[in-house]
A and B are shown apart, each in its own frame.
Chain A
Amino acid sequence: MNTIVRRYGFVLAVAFLFAIFLATWPLYQHKATGMLLFQAETMLLVIPPIFILLGLLDVWVPREQMMRFMGSGSGAKGVLLAFLFGSFAAGPLYGAFPVAAVLMKKGASFTNILIFIGAWSTTKLPMLLFESAALGPRFALARLAIDIVGIALIAVAIKAAISPKEVDALYAKAAKML
């Protein structure tokens, strides 16, 4: 009971603020509640398959295999795999974090994890087609090209900024997530 209160205390606080927001600005009431339902629907729709897949991934893929493919010694192959894995994913960016946690638990290197997150956020293939239709192929392709550079740059920068000790701590935490 105590742990539940501690874990969900912050949620209750935010919910309280949310209620105050709705009460103070009736103008936004309709939009905010509509959006809440819409986003909740997205989460309910996308989360079950993603979590089932990562549960299966955790149970079936042996750590050695993942380390060979995406570990620190995997080189360009690992980078490419991380990039493709992220690009063919479906769902909003918050779906990438739990998947990244499983990959970390399985021994994928930190750089590859960062590339995976970057690819999931910007170079998702279905979205690219859609962007091209809405904003023009020139816009979409230019963004894809510069984003690939950006994903690599950000991955390298973060890898350099975070000490190996911190990375180890993150990996230990990820292993406990499931």
Chain B
Amino acid sequence: MMTKYLCPWQDPFCGLFLRAQLKVCKGLCRQSLSRLALEKEPNLSSVPDRKLEKMDTFILYAVAGLCLLASFLKNRGKTSLALRKAYKAFEGILPQLLVVLMLVSVALAVLDTSTVSLVIGKDSGVFGVLIAALIGAITLIPGFVAFPAAAALLHNEAGTVQIAAFVSTLMMVGVVTLPLEMQYFGKRTALLRNGAAFLFSLVAAVFVGWVVGL
């Protein structure tokens, strides 16, 4: 007997059925993926909770508080001078701080984990490493947000070298904080430091990738 159709899915009825199934499957997949993304993936630009950072900040405040108290008990005049100096130093860089604040917000609104994951897959090669390094250089994210996000990216098939480049420039290079750095170190030193740190991060990334792959 000659079959009218070479494959069962060329049969209109069967085809319809299959197509409907496919649609349901796709829908389910998409749903579970988006739920996964919502629940599990820490996002660079999502506002994190501060639990992990608290310890750090607490110690900082404890040390500052104790020093201030000791200083106050020893010499009131000197302590008030110290506080006045602290305020002067703060007020001196307030404009730069405000600029940095706005630059960071824009950078992190545009560059989030999904942007990053688009460009730093395992097969993205040199280009992926460069892009990852650039994104790390531009953004300013506390480590307790960045590391889980980086781990999630690694889990989603991002390359180790790319992630290492991202983490490394994230810590060493600060494009958005340049206005602040220049205020203290001058244009030339600030640019040199960031440039050197960027180049070095690429080397470090290759090294880390090599060690992890051993």
A residues 142-157 near B (Cβ < 8 Å) are 142-143, 146-147, 150, 153-154, 157
Q: Is chain B's binding surface mostly helix, strand, loop or mixed? A: helix
Contacts A94-B174, A126-B55, A162-B188: A139 and B98 contacting too (C-beta < 8 A)? no
Q: Say which residue of A35, A90, A131, A146 sits within 8 Å of B105 (CB atoms).
A: A35
A70 at the interface (CB under 8 A from B): no
Task: Determine the distance from Cα of A178 to Cα of B83 in the docked complex, in whole angstroms.
Answer: 10
Check B188 against A166 for contact (C-beta < 8 Å). Answer: yes
Check B184 against A98 for contact (C-beta < 8 Å). Answer: yes
Q: Is chain A's binding surface mostly helix, strand, loop or mixed? A: helix
Check B78 against A59 for contact (C-beta < 8 Å). Answer: yes
B19 at the interface (CB under 8 A from A): no
Q: How far does the Cβ of A60 sit from chain B's closest Cβ, in whole Å?
A: 7
Check B92 against A127 for contact (C-beta < 8 Å). Answer: no
Contacts A58-B85, A92-B140: A146 and B203 contacting too (C-beta < 8 A)? yes
A45 contacts across to B, CB distance below 8 A:
57
Task: Determine the distance from Cα of A146 to Cα of B110 in the docked complex, in whole angstroms.
Answer: 31
Contacts A135-B154, A177-B92, A178-B92: A146 and B177 contacting too (C-beta < 8 A)? no
Task: Return the CB mask of A1-32 against B: 1 if under 8 Å, else 0.
Answer: 00000011011001100100100000010011
Please provide the 9 A-B residue pairs with the shortest distance between their CB atoms, ordered closest to farther. A55-B86, A49-B64, A142-B211, A134-B147, A32-B109, A55-B82, A178-B89, A36-B105, A28-B109
Q: A-side interface residues toward B, CB under 8 Å? A: 7-8, 10-11, 14-15, 18, 21, 28, 31-40, 42-43, 45-56, 58-60, 90-94, 97-98, 100-102, 114, 117-118, 121-122, 124, 126-127, 130-131, 133-136, 138-139, 142-143, 146-147, 150, 153-154, 157-158, 161-162, 166, 169-170, 173-174, 177-178
